[in-house]
Amino acid sequence: MAGDRVRIDKWLWAARFYKTRGLATEAVSGGKVHLNGERTKPARGLQIGDSITVRKEGGTWTVTVDGLTEKRGPASQAENLYTETEESRQAREAGREERLRAAAGGPPRREPGAGRPTKRERRQLDRWRDDK
């Protein structure tokens, strides 16, 4: 383990959020990574207990830093560097299911009565109006 602080871009790379350190640096500079709720710079030091929010195409991760390292190791070691919040895990799973549904060609999920009526709902409304 490293000392008291580790650069956020190195930690994101070591924790396997990004494939290269350059991609991690771009993400932090581009505002896709927030440290304790605020936008940060790649050289910012992390401490154990900090909260990090990472927006990627697979969803948004909200994690708490449990360990510090500057060296990239096996995935099993990377999992020990952070703990994901339960809300983050549930939101990512819901997003994953939505993407799978969209990829399968099915319509996106919509609550009945929300937004513009579907063709089926419009026909039901027409039948109801004609009955009056």
User: What is the CATH class of 1-93?
Assistant: alpha beta
Separation CA 93–CA 58 (nearest Å): 10
Average pLDDT rounded to a whole number, residues 92-110:
77
pLDDT for the residue 62: 95
- Mean pLDDT confidence for 67-82: 92
Domain ranges of the chain: 1-93
| Residue 70 parent element (H or E) | none
Of the CA atoms within 13 Å of residue 19, those in its CB half-sphere come to: 1
Tell me: pLDDT of 1 over 50.
no
The predicted model gives 81-91 an average pLDDT of 92
| pLDDT(15) > 90 | yes
pTM of the model: 0.72
